[in-house]
């Protein structure tokens, strides 16, 4: 017992009103509280109690992992409980028949302590059932599973499903609740037939007019009983041919009449439009009552003719004569003159050939003069072209065309525009070198090579790589001349760093710098007749160079 633990006072613990504890009871309750609380004390070795100590006091030492007891007050001595060394480590404890605490063998993965009626408990593992419950043992774990997922949302696979509630030899269908159900046992010839809004029904087929149905075990035979049944077939002369009247019958027409077939008829009368090719050796090809008819003679190749008549078939409106590989078309409404004869008529043609005068005349007879239009479809990639054949068979030829608003002269192959003129009057060509533009007074422009009298200026630009000498302008190989050259990086106005100035003298085959004043970030140099610039700004820059011939 703790020191100073006296018997309880003889006075009443509380007053008559049940509210105030008397002064005699307060120290006694304090002593009891200290003793009781000490029974539940625990902590590390360093946290052991140091006040209100008494012999036999218990404390669970978390550092040692065991209970200790106070065995001496001066000096304070805590003694650990003895360790039972006879127990097997990592084992289960149980009480034997004599009530003594005993340990099993060391437990292995998945073992549990399982009771055995009338015997001591046993350390053993759970046993599954083949194809039903699988047991997987791990370190401190037991996992139970099934051979496949069997959740209500799972898709399962079984070799067979046996439902003892189903009727043998019946049809199976799902109920509205999703359960399997069955009809009554099916009889000969019955099928499972749907019934809107209801479960399917096992029933036999019903024979209609002229039909007989014979039901047997696992079979249904449907046959015609002769009433209303076709027993033979007959074709129609010149329309449908039947190979035989009974048995295997093949139906055909006197000739192939597919949309791709070439057909032959004695006469063709069409109330509408006839499309494709028509070949008439004799007779007429006649259209509707208000249309035209075509009559063939003995054949175009042998000097015959194809005649085009009006709706009455009494008035010839045109004739195509053939002979000696020449076709002459004579319509009555085109100036009453034949087309293709010795004297060609006027008209609209795909191809026009000049007569002996080597002249083809296109005349607009309007009093105001009018305009002659040559127009190409909007999707024509080559625009409107006029072919100029040169000296007949002699090449090269040339083409004129209008494409995307420009007038162009094409090369002999008609593949490349060698000269282009825009609505603004800009004229450009793929190769204008050393030739003035603008008759006696040369025009300004940007050229690969330029020949000019003094005080003629040319401007050129090029993207340069930092630190690399790049040719901006090449001088012409011509008579000696002197040039004033200025160069600038981009649009910079800082002439100290980005501008350069030079006077270049050329003797026609080589050039030299008469004077030069370079910027800190740009220099002008020469390579032969090539005027070059080198910039060192650290990034690629566009150099603009102006060259003026001054002498």
With tokens 């040169």, the residue in question is 390
Given the structure tokens 């009626």, which residue do they identify?
117
pLDDT digits (tens, 9 = 90+) for 105-119: 999 999 999 999 989
* Cα torsion 102, 103, 104, 109: sign: positive
Determine the average pLDDT of the residues in 226-240: 80
- Contact yes or no for 195/179 (Cβ under 8 A): no
Number of separate helices (H) and strands (E) present in the chain? 2, 37
Among 83-92, 127-136, 357-366, the least confident range: 357-366
pLDDT at 471: 92
Helix (H, G, I), strand (E, B) or coil at 239: coil
Tens digits of residue pLDDT in 56-88: 888 888 898 888 888 888 899 888 876 555 678
Between 202 and 35, name the one with better pLDDT. 202
Per-residue 3-state assignment (H helix, E strand, C coil) for 196-216: CCEEEEEECCCCCCCEEEEEE
Strands 42-43 and 58-61, by their bridges, are parallel
Q: Residue 184: pLDDT band by 50, 70, 90 thresholds? A: very high
Query: What pLDDT, on a 0 to 100 scale, did the predictor assign at position 422?
Result: 86
Closest CA to 470 of 458, 487, 454: 487
Q: Which tens digit of pLDDT belongs to each residue from 402-428?
A: 888 888 888 887 888 888 888 887 777
Locate all alpha helices (DSSP H) within 253-305, ordered by sequence. none
| Most confident among 274-283, 315-324, 494-503 (mean pLDDT) | 494-503
- The pLDDT tens digits for 82-102 are 655 567 888 888 877 776 768
**Which H or E run includes 197?**
none
* The predicted structure's pLDDT at residue 134: 95
* Paired tokens of 473: 């302008």
pLDDT for position 80: 82
- Residue 244 phi, psi dihedral angles, 5° rounding: -160, 170
Average pLDDT over residues 15-40: 65
Whole-angstrom CA distances from 272 to 267, 289, 405 are 15, 10, 44
pLDDT at 159 over 60: yes
What number is the average pLDDT over the span 195-201? 93
């Amino acid at each position: 017992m703790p020191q100073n633990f006296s018997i309880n006072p003889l006075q009443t613990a509380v007053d008559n009103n049940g509210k105030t504890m008397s002064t005699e009871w307060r120290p006694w309750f304090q002593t009891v509280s200290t003793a009781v609380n000490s029974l539940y004390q625990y902590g590390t070795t360093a946290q052991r109690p140091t006040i209100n100590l008494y012999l036999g006091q218990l404390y669970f030492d978390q550092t040692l992992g065991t209970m200790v007891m106070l065995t001496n007050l001066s000096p304070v001595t805590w003694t650990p409980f003895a360790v039972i060394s006879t127990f097997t480590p990592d084992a289960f404890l149980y009480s034997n028949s004599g009530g003594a605490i005993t340990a099993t063998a060391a437990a292995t993965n998945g073992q549990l302590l399982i009771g055995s009626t009338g015997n001591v408990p046993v350390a053993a593992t759970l046993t599954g059932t083949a194809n039903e419950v699988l047991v997987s043992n791990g370190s401190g774990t037991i996992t139970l599973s099934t051979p496949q997922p069997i959740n209500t949302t799972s898709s399962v696979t079984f070799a067979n499903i046996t439902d003892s509630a189903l009727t043998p030899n019946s049809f199976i269908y799902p109920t509205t609740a999703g359960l399997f159900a069955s009809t009554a046992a099916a009889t000969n010839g019955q099928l499972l037939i749907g019934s809107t809004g209801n479960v399917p029904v096992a029933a036999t087929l019903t024979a209609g007019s002229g039909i007989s149905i014979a039901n047997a075990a696992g079979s249904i035979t449907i046959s015609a009983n002769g009433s209303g049944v076709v027993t033979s077939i007959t074709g129609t002369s010149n329309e449908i041919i039947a190979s035989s009247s009974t048995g295997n019958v093949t139906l055909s027409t006197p000739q192939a009449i597919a949309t791709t077939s070439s057909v032959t008829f004695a006469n063709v009368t069409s109330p509408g439009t006839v499309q494709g090719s028509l070949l008439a050796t004799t007779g007429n090809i006649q259209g509707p009552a208000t249309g035209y008819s075509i009559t063939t003679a003995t054949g175009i190749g042998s000097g015959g003719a194809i005649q085009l008549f009006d709706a009455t078939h009494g008035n010839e409106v045109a004739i195509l004569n053939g002979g000696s590989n020449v076709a002459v078309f004579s319509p009555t409404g085109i100036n009453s003159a034949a087309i293709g004869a010795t004297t060609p008529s006027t008209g609209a043609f795909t191809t026009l050939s000049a007569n002996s005068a080597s002249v083809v005349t296109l005349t607009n007879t309007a009093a105001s003069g009018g305009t002659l239009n040559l127009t190409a479809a909007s999707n024509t990639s080559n625009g409107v072209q006029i072919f100029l054949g040169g000296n007949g068979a002699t090449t090269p030829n040339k083409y004129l065309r209008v494409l995307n608003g420009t007038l162009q002269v094409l090369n002999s192959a008609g593949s490349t525009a060698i000269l282009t003129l825009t609505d603004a009057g800009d004229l450009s060509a793929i190769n204008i070198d050393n030739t003035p533009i603008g008759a006696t007074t040369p025009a300004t422009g940007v050229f690969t090579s330029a020949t000019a009298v003094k005080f003629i200026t040319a401007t050129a630009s090029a993207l340069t790589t930092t630190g690399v000498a790049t040719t901006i302008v090449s001088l012409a190989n011509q008579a000696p001349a002197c040039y004033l050259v200025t160069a600038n990086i981009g649009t910079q106005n800082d002439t100290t760093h980005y501008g350069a100035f030079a006077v270049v003298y050329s003797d026609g085959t080589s050039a030299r710098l008469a004077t030069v004043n370079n910027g800190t970030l740009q220099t002008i140099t020469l390579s032969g007749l090539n005027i070059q610039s080198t910039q060192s700004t650290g990034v690629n820059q566009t150099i603009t160079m102006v060259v003026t011939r001054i002498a």
